[in-house]
Amino acid sequence: MHRRSFLRALPLAAGAPWEAGAQAWPARALRCIVPFPPGGTTDLVARWVGAEMARFLGQVVVVDNRPGAGTVIGVDAAAKASADGYTLVSVANSFCVNQTLVKRLPYDALRDLQPIGLMGLSEHVLATHPASGIRTVAELRAAAYRRPGQLSYASFGNGTSAHLAGAMLQAQWGAALIHVPYKGQAPALSDLLAGQVTMMFGNWPEFRTHVNSGQLVALGMATARRSRDAPWVPTLIEQGLQIESNSWSGLMTRAGAPRAASARLEAALQFALQSPSVQQAFEGAGITSLGGSPEQFDAFIRTEIDMYARVIAQAGITADA
C-alpha cells in the first residue's frame, strides 16, 4: 500500500476503560521514554497520550526524556529494558532513518522493539524568510540555479525528516543547496526567523503563527493534498515537486512483552486517542490523530525504513553529513 494511502486508511479501534482491579496487569507505574528534549511536539504528544493511557490502565505513566545521538540513546534504553511491557518508548521518523543511517546501531528496529500503535502526525511546510525575496517554489528554483551552493536549508538535525526532505528537493532539481543541521526544530526555526538560513521544512503547528503573522512565507505544504489547517497554501506536488514530508510519532515497547500486557497497551492507546482531551489537544496543535493496530504500525515502519533508505542512498547521506 502506498505510504499516504496507508496513513489515510488507519482506523481508530474502539476502547473503553477497564474496571478497576479487573486485570492484574499493570501492577505498578509505567515509564514512557521520549528520546527528545521536553517541550517539543513529540514530547507533548507522549504526555497527552500518556495521561489518558494512565487513566485507562489505573497506573501512572511517567515520561522520561532521554535525548541524544539522534534519538539512539533513548530508543536503546527501551530496547534493553525488561520485556514486561512496563517500559514504553515514543518513536518518530528518526527511528526508521537510523536503521539505515547509523551503521553500528546498538539495537535492531525490527527485532528488539514491538509496535503498540501510531499516535499523531504533523504536516511539514516549506517556508522561507521574507527577506530572501522568495515567495513561490518557482522563485526558489530560479534562485537555486542562479546562486548554486548559496542557498541554505535548516533541519532538526542530520538524518531527520526535515533534512531528508531537503535532500529530496536538491535531488529533484539537481541544484546545490547547503544543509545546516540544528539540535532540534526550535533553534533551527529561530535562525530561520532571524534570516540566518534561506528555508526550512518544518512542522506546520510550530510554523503557522509565524506564517500567519508574515514573519515567514509558506511556499508549499509537503502533503498529498491541501492541508485542512492551511487550505490556502498549495502543496509542493501541485508545484511540480514529488515531496511528501511530515513528523509522526508512535508508541513501542520491548519485544517479547507478555500478550496480556501488549493487548492492554494497545487498548489503552486507542482509548487515549479517542478521549476528548487528546482530541482537543491534537486539534489545537494541528496534529492529525492516527491510531491503528500494531500490525498496521509494523507495516508502516517497514515502509518508512525502505523509503528513507532509498533517499539516504540516492543523496549519499552519512551519519556525519
How do residues 190-205 score in pLDDT, each as one tens digit? 999 999 999 999 999 8
User: Residue 90 and residue 33: Cα distance in Å, rounded?
Assistant: 6
Give alpha helix (H) positions in the chain. 3-9, 41-57, 72-79, 93-101, 137-146, 161-173, 185-193, 204-212, 259-274, 276-285, 294-315
33-67 residue pLDDT tens:
999 888 888 999 999 999 999 999 999 999 999 99
Question: Do 130 and 109 lie in a common domain?
Answer: no
Q: Of 157, 186, 221, which residue is a domain's last? A: 221
Residue 123 φ then ψ, to 5°: -70, 150
The total number of structural domains in the chain stands at 2
Residue 185 lies in a domain: yes
Q: How many CB atoms lie within 10 A of CB 16?
A: 10
* Whether 117 and 150 share a structural domain: no
Does 92 fall in a domain?
A: yes
Judge contact between 128 and 218, C-beta under 8 A.
no
**pTM score, whole prediction:** 0.86
Cell matching residue 274: 479517542
Give the structural domain span for 257.
3-122+247-315
pLDDT for 288 beyond 60: yes
Residues in the chain: 321
